[in-house]
Structure 1
Amino acid sequence: MQVTETLNDGLKRAYAITVTATELDAKVNEKLEEARRDFQMKGFRKGKAPAALMKKMFGKSVLGEAMQESIDDAMKSHFEETGDRPAMQPDVKMTNDEWKEGDDIEVSMSYEALPDVPETDFSKVKLEKLVVKPDEDAVNEALENLANSANHFEPRRKGSKAKDGDQVVIDFLGKVDGEAFEGGQADDYPLVLGSGSFIPGFEEQLVGAKAGEEVEVKVTFPAEYGAENLAGKDAVFECTVKEVKEPKTAPIDDELAKKFGAEDLAALKGQIEERLGVEYAGAARQVVKRKLMDSLDGLVKFDLPPSLVAAEAEQIAHQLWHEENPDVHDHNHDKIEPTDEHKTLAERRVRLGLLLAEVGNKNEIDVTEQELQQAMFAQARQYPGQERAYFEFMQKNPGAQQQLRAPIFEDKVVDYILELAKVDEKEVTKDELQAAVEALDDV
């Protein structure tokens, strides 16, 4: 094998590789010898067929495979000797288009090498970590939100008319063509007006009704209604309004706590305080992580592979375009050209990505199978009823697994760097932390 460098410009590399006919012939013979061990030919014992006869019979059929393996071996040897790591899949082409058996194989290979990431003294990084302790006001605010979200209705004054948002307790009987139908009857049914839980037009006709009144509700079932015998049919519901209730904030007491699975109000407050602590810590981590990335971006400089930057800029431009055009769900649109701003952001992402990868690899930071499984379980909860299908999809798609693995790896490397950096804690209010989080979107 002969390798001749034809380009060395920054991170760009190009080589002319020659695999001699002798080397290719040796590879063919090697593959035939492997096959001969288990080959049974009439007139010969297993594995004893003459090599020359094997080559005559099967030489051409293994030639293409031998050529590919010879080129792959040549590339592997090159990368082992040079220590180069291609940023993307190398571009490999045969240059002697009129190749025939007995000729050398001539190949051109070009790629962009990943840069050498310089050693970084992370102790020079100085950061401020915001700390918020859940106070009584925050806990009470969360309790009030829970009370507001609890479905609590109290009877209106006698003779009051039902309003949108009120709950009416009704008996109803539905009929189509004068005949009652299955599933069209209920007693003491609590219906919140405006909830959209009944077919269109039903709830609106009960607005203004009073307790004790009988209301005839006339509706038409949607054409796509689930029950075929009712789809598109006109129906009349004979309704008796038994109670009219208005929404009220639920009392903040032990009963409210039990609605949310706590033993009593004190236990619910403890749970809220713990949850707020986790939320504040998560928000503070977002802020300190961004500050760390900003510091590293200014501290570490090295050449970047143009192809990686270009690919990242195109992805950023494409993603932002779809965010600005949420009604477009496919990719049948004109090519989105990256702006200078997109390219600058791409350079930052590529630089930091290469740095974190280098730090992680040098310090043997990895994502365990247990950590990956936990992430998969968390993700599966977003697809209730389809968890099994999700896990089967993940098992068959290494690329999807890598999408889950990447942020876990990044967070572990960030934690490693934060341990080495000088991080001072600063106690702030909830509002100050919120302002710091919102400021992240302005950068």
Structure 2
Amino acid sequence: MQVTETQNEGLKRAYNITVSADELDAKVTEKLVEAQPEIEMKGFRKGKVPLPLLKKQFGQRLLGEAMQETIDGAMAEHFESTGDRPALQPQVKMTNDDWKEGDDVKVEMAYEALPEIPEVDLSGISLEKLVAKADESSVDEALANLAETAQDFKARRKGSKAKDGDQVVIDFVGKVDGEPFEGGSAEDYPLVLGSNSFIPGFEEQLVGVKAEEEKSVEVSFPEDYQAEHLAGKAAVFECTIKEVKEPVAAEVDDELAKKFGAEDLEALKGQIRERLEAEYVQASRAITKRALLDKLDELVSFDLPPSLVEAEAKQIAHQLWHEENPEVEGHDHAEVEPTDEHNKLAERRVRLGLLLAELGQRQEINVSDAEMTQSIMNQARQYPGQERQFFEFVQQNQQMQQQLRAPIFEDKVVDYIIEQAEVSEKEVSKDELQKAVEALEEE
């Protein structure tokens, strides 16, 4: 086998690989010898078929396989001897298109090598960690929001008209073609106007009704209504309004706490305080992580594989285009050309991605099976009732596994770097922390 370098510019590499016909023949013979003990052929005992006969019978079939294995072996040997790591899958093509059995095989291999990543003195990195505590006003604000979600209703003054958001207590009988239909009647039904829990057009017609009033509501069932015998049919609901109630926030007391699974109000406040401070910790970490990445980006400089930058820039441009055009759900639109800003951001991402990957490899940082399982379970919760199918999908999809593993790995490497850095703490208010988070989102 002969390997000749044809390009070595920056990170670009290209080689011509020649596999001799003798090498291929030896590989085919090796495969036949390996399989010979299990081969049976008429006129011969098992394992006693002569090699020349096996080669005549199966040699042509094994030639392609031998060729692929020989070329793969040559590539593996090349990367081991040079220490090169390709940024993407190498491009490999056969150059003697008129090849026939008995000829040497000539292959061209081209790739972009990953750069050498310089050492970084992590102890010289200084970071500021923002620390916020959940004060009483924040807890009270969260309690008030909870009270709104647990709203009650109280009767409006007699003669008051129902408004959107009010609750009306009604008796109703639904009829199609003048005849009541099954499931179309109820008594003392509490309906919140604007909740869209009834057929489209039903609730709007009850806005303005009063207690003790009767109202005929005329609607049509949707064409795709689940009960086929009612789909698309016009219906009249004869309603008797028994009460009109306005929404009121629940009282902030022990009863409210029990609605949310706490023993009493103090216990609920404690839970809220813990939740808020956990949110503050996450926000603070995001700010610290961004500051760390900014410092790393300033500290290191090395050549970047153009193919990685180009692919990343295209992905950024495509993603931002969809954010600006949310009405377009598919990807059958014109190609989005990256701008200089996209390319600059892509360079930063590729540089930091390669640096973090190298640091993680040097420190032997890995994502455990338990961490992957937890991540998959967290994602699966987004598909209620289909958790098992999602879990199986991820198990069978290497690309999806990589998408879930990458952010876990990155966070573990970031945690390692922060442990080596000099970190000072600064106490801030919730509002100051919020402003710092908003500043991140604007960048």
TMscore range, shorter length: over 0.9
Give secondary structure in 2 for the equivalent of 1:37: helix
Cα distance in 2 between the residues matched to 1:352 and 1:44? 64
Cα distance in 2 between the residues matched to 1:263 and 1:375? 32
**One-letter amino acid matched to 1:67:** M
Q: What is aligned with 1:413?
A: 413
Q: What is aligned with 1:88?
A: 88
**One-letter amino acid matched to 1:356:** L
**One-letter amino acid matched to 1:192:** V
Q: What is aligned with 2:133?
A: 133
Q: What is aligned with 1:285?
A: 285
**One-letter amino acid matched to 1:49:** V
Q: What is aligned with 2:339?
A: 339
Q: What is aligned with 2:350?
A: 350
Cα distance in 2 between the residues matched to 1:221 and 1:95? 68
Q: What is aligned with 2:79?
A: 79
**Which runs of structure 2 are paired with 1:211-222 in the superposition (5 Å)?**
211-222=211-222
Q: What is aligned with 1:401?
A: 401
Deviations 1:2-52 (A, max 9, x none): 111111111111111111222111101011111212101222221111111
Deviations 1:175-200 (A, max 9, x none): 11221111111111110112111112
- TM superposition shift of 1:245: 0.6
Give secondary structure in 1 for the equivalent of 2:384: coil
**One-letter amino acid matched to 2:422:** K
**One-letter amino acid matched to 2:72:** D
Give secondary structure in 2 for the equivalent of 1:62: helix
Q: What is aligned with 1:153?
A: 153
Q: What is aligned with 1:391?
A: 391
* 2:24 matches 1:24: yes
Q: What is aligned with 2:382?
A: 382
Q: What is aligned with 1:206?
A: 206
- TM superposition shift of 1:359: 0.7
TM superposition score normalised by structure 2: 0.98
**Which runs of structure 2 are paired with 1:1-400 in the superposition (5 Å)?**
1-400=1-400
Give secondary structure in 1 for the equivalent of 2:185: strand
Cα distance in 2 between the residues matched to 1:334 and 1:220? 41
Give secondary structure in 2 for the equivalent of 1:271: helix
Cα distance in 2 between the residues matched to 1:351 and 1:211? 69
Give secondary structure in 1 for the equivalent of 2:409: helix
- TM superposition shift of 1:106: 1.4
- TM superposition shift of 1:223: 2.2
Structure 2 unaligned regions, length at least 5 = none
Cα distance in 1 between the residues matched to 2:441 and 2:44? 76
Cα distance in 1 between the residues matched to 2:94 and 2:219? 73
Cα distance in 1 between the residues matched to 2:318 and 2:219? 46
**One-letter amino acid matched to 2:4:** T
**One-letter amino acid matched to 2:281:** A
Cα distance in 1 between the residues matched to 2:354 and 2:361? 10
**One-letter amino acid matched to 1:197:** S
Cα distance in 1 between the residues matched to 2:37 and 2:151? 77
Cα distance in 1 between the residues matched to 2:20 and 2:334? 47
Deviations 1:409-435 (A, max 9, x none): 000000000000111111101011111
**One-letter amino acid matched to 1:69:** E
**One-letter amino acid matched to 1:246:** E
**Segment of structure 1 superposing worse, 417-426 or 193-202:** 193-202
Q: How many residues align?
A: 443
33 and 164 in structure 1: CA distance in 2 versus 1, 3 angstrom threshold: same
**One-letter amino acid matched to 1:193:** L
Where in structure 1 do 4 or more consecutive aligned residues deviate above 4 Å? none
Q: What is aligned with 2:441?
A: 441
**Segment of structure 1 superposing worse, 103-112 or 71-80:** 103-112
Deviations 1:282-324 (A, max 9, x none): 1111100000000000001111101101111111111111111
Cα distance in 2 between the residues matched to 1:283 and 1:16? 53
Identity between Structure 1 and Structure 2 (%): 71
Give secondary structure in 1 for the equivalent of 2:40: coil
Cα distance in 2 between the residues matched to 1:217 and 1:104? 86
Deviations 1:222-243 (A, max 9, x none): 2222212212222221212111
- TM superposition shift of 1:401: 1.0
- TM superposition shift of 1:168: 0.6
Cα distance in 1 between the residues matched to 2:276 and 2:160? 41
Give secondary structure in 1 for the equivalent of 2:208: coil
**One-letter amino acid matched to 1:325:** N
- TM superposition shift of 1:201: 2.0
**One-letter amino acid matched to 1:273:** R
